[in-house]
Structure 1
Amino acid sequence: MSARWEKLGLLYCPGLKGRHPKLLTHAANPLPLHISGNVYRIFYCGRDYENRSSVGAVDIDIVRREVVEEHYAPFFVHGPSGSFHADGVSIGNCYERLGRTYMTFMGWQSPAQGHWRGDIGRVEIRDLTIVPESEQLLMGMDHEDPISLAYPWVAPRAQGGFDMWYPSVVSWEVGNGEMLAVLKHATSTDGEKWSRHGAVVPYALGVAQAFSRPSVIQSDDGLHMWFSYRAGTGQSYRIGHAVSAVNGQWELALKGLSIDVSDTGWDSEMVEYPFVFRHNDLIYMLYNGNGYGKTGFGLAVLRE
């Protein structure tokens, strides 16, 4: 794939007044579902005054880059105390199974004593909305992932079954002030029970060692993945790239198809949480900028 990303600008940023209490700030982890024509319902994660994230949405014409409808109420609220998503939800992507559509998410827990942690859940999507009380734990911690899991991307396999790519924390500190979170792979025959296969995307301390939110598409030359990463040098999030040829081995490809910060504006400090998708024979990316989504999300297009 010989191309480059062209930034098209900020698509949506939450207003300062009249917000729902569960969506006061942020529009992180954008996830598009096609409505019709060029219009998508873009789900996102907003936060309440206690910093707990829930899922809101805005309908946007991505070609004209105009808001069609802004939805006031959240579509999915974080869980009750003691649940695996009590302190927030961060959405991943959607996949279909047996005629049903599911949205994956990371469920946050932030205990008073101890570090935050995450597990992977899902909710059902029906008629462009989230089915109430359909959330369930999809994949939790075990001996392979004993610390924290995050931001799943689930996709059907050509030969049947499903792939999942997800970040997993190996250590909160590896000597340079940064955690080590690697990108792992799991497979499932039915989309319910998952076999975990460990880390698949190489990491490099001081270069790329704190990964989050993978986004994967199939191309003629294999699989392409975009993700957030930090280097462990004190630099904020950037959006990186990896490729996997037909042999299934992933390689980091941080030059060329990665995205860096802008000189000024809403994404001048960090870029993160990509979502890559096809529309009208073009490949687009939704992504966040400064403040982990506090300044909203923007759009880029891949130019050949």
Structure 2
Amino acid sequence: MLWKKKGLIYKPSGEKKWSCSHAQVPVAEFIAEQDKIRIYFSTRDSLGRSLPDYLDVSAFDPQRIIYKNQSPILDLGENGTFDDCGVMPSCVVNSNGKKYLYYIGWNVRNTIPYHNAVGLAISEDDGNTFKKFSEGPLWDRDYKEPHYSGSTCVLIDDNNVWRNWYLSCTEWRRVNGKMEPRYHIKYAESNDGIDWKREGIISIDYADSNEAGIVKASVIKKAGKYCMWYSYRNFSNYRVDPKNSYRIGYAESSDGIHFKRMDSLSGIDISSNGWDDLMICYPHVVDVKDKRLMFYNGNGFGQSGFGYAELVST
């Protein structure tokens, strides 16, 4: 396949006091009846805390912003809860007239830099407002998965089976004097999108001992085949070295559980210069009218904003 990059869409300029930097992990929802795409993302305030935001762009020209949200979708959690340091959207799903917004809750830690867990907020007014499902996470670490869970991709499949491909941290390792997480993508199922059955099934595993981060699955099912895009990186110097930093990978599956990596076919890479010349990460793929689009972050894990690409050949 081949993706044609179309350019940068948005980078915060500081016009909103609670949005000083970053437009991280873009999550796109095509709203056909309004000919628009709503893009949820995470921004950061002056203290570096992640807050959820969104904007609307034209379905005909996604670089044309038609509406900018003016206040955080959700507030930080109460002190001591799983999301008191950050709220980062990672997936939105429509079910029975409601929007389910799955998000990552952030805590700052001592022995390691941070801890994540999976949260949920629900909208009953077509996405105008969201309310947290609970003060606690849908799931956190447990005796089977002792570290943390992060970004999720949820798809409601045949027979109302809710499928979830999620980040699962498997260890922390000290690299160049800094504690670094290692994570890959596991699979879970649910009947209602709230209570999830996790059995430790790995959907995308590490390619080798140097690979350290596989994150932000985006899955589309078509003609019985599950297609997944995601980002992956190595352990060391991934923040500054293009050779070790995030790239976008691709995998396929016939059952939606076990995927075959085909990263060489992803059809997209870093640019020779500009906002995505160091890394490309956190893809979200969505079909819009007769086109397939990919929204993604570039340098700085979203510090340089997000843009999009269009699939031009399969």
Taking structure 1 as the reference length, the TM-score comes to 0.91
The question of 1:26 aligning with 2:29 is answered: no
Q: Is residue 167 of structure 1 aligned with residue 167 of structure 2?
A: yes
- Aligned AA for 2:196? W
Within the alignment, does 1:143 sit opposite 2:139 as a pair?
no
- How far the C-alpha of 1:37 sits from its partner, in A, is 4.2
Q: Is the 8 A contact 2:97 2:126 kept in 1?
A: no
Q: How many Å apart are 1:297 and its aligned residue?
A: 0.6
Q: Which residue of 2 aligns with 1:119?
A: 117
1:245 paired residue number: 254
Which residue does 1:49 correspond to in 2? 46
**Equivalent residue for 1:272?**
281
Of 265, 270, 273, the residue aligned with 1:256 is 265
Q: Which residue of 2 aligns with 1:226?
A: 229
Segments of structure 1 that go 5 or more residues without pairing to the other structure are none
Q: CA RMSD in A?
A: 2.2
Q: Secondary structure of the residue that 2:284 maps to in structure 1? A: strand
| Alignment match, 2:184 | 182
1:186 maps to a residue whose letter is A
Q: Is the 8 Å Cα contact of residues 120 and 132 (structure 2) preserved in structure 1?
A: no
Query: Structure 1 residue 60: deviation in Å?
Result: 0.9
Contact 2:36 / 2:56 at 8 angstroms: preserved in 1?
yes
Corresponding residue of 1:10? 8
User: Unmatched 5+ residue regions in structure 2?
Assistant: 238-243
Residue 156 of structure 2 corresponds to 156
Q: How many residues align?
A: 300
Deviation at 1:211, TM superposition (A): 1.2
Supply the AA of the counterpart residue of 1:34: F
Contact 2:167 2:184 in 1 (8 A): yes
Structure 2 distance, partners of 1:184, 1:62, is 32
Q: TM-score, normalised by structure 2?
A: 0.88
1:186-197 aligned within 5 A: 186-197=188-199
2:28/2:39 contact within 8 Å kept:
yes
Cα offset, 1:157, TM superposition: 1.9
Q: Which shows bigger deviation, 162-171 or 96-105?
A: 96-105
State the one-letter code of the partner of 1:256: L
List 4+ stretches of structure 1 deviating above 6 A: 174-177
- The superposition leaves residues 24-44 of structure 1 with CA deviations (integer Å, 9 ceiling, x where unpaired) of 111111122334443222111
For 1:294, the equivalent position in structure 2 comes to: 303
The alpha carbon displacement at 1:14 in A equals 1.2
Distance 1:187-1:133 versus aligned 2 partners, 3 A rule: closer
Residues in 2 aligned to 1:34 and 1:196: alpha-carbon distance in whole angstroms: 29
Residue by residue over 1:3-36, the C-alpha shift from the partner in whole angstroms, topping out at 9 and shown as x without a partner, is 21111111111114x22x3211111111223344
The answer as to whether partners of 1:53 and 1:77 remain within 8 angstroms in 2 is no
Q: Check 1:219–1:40 CA distance in 2 against 1; reply closer, same or farther (3 A cut).
A: same
State which drifts further: 167-176 or 90-99. Answer: 167-176
Counterpart-to-counterpart distance in 2, 1:301 and 1:95: 22
In 1, Cα distance between the equivalents of 2:164 and 2:132?
Answer: 23
State the Cα distance separating 1:207 from its structure 2 match: 5.7
Which one-letter code corresponds to 2:194 in the other structure? E
Letter of the 2:171 partner, please give it: S
Give the CA deviation at 1:109.
0.8
Deviation track 1:174-206 (CA, whole Å, cap 9, x = no partner) reads 889854211100111222211113222131225
Structure 1 residues 231 and 113, CA gap change in structure 2 (3 angstroms): closer
Q: Give CA deviations for 1:224-269 in whole Å, capped at 9, x if unaligned.
A: 1111211235311111111112484311111121531101111111
SS of residue in 2 equivalent to 1:138? coil
The offset of 1:52, in angstroms, is 0.7
In the superposition, relative to structure 1, how do residues 208 and 251 fare at CA in structure 2: closer, same or farther (>3 Å)?
farther
Report the Cα distance in structure 2 between the residues aligned to 1:280 and 1:117, rounded to whole angstroms: 38
1:27 partner amino acid: A
Maintained 8 Å contact 1:272/1:289: yes
Contact in 2 for aligned 1:22/1:53 (Cα 8 Å): no
Task: Give identity over the alignment, percent.
Answer: 29
Partner of 1:105: 103
- AA aligned to 2:286 is F
Partner of 1:129: 128
Residue 26 of structure 1 aligns with an amino acid whose one-letter code is H
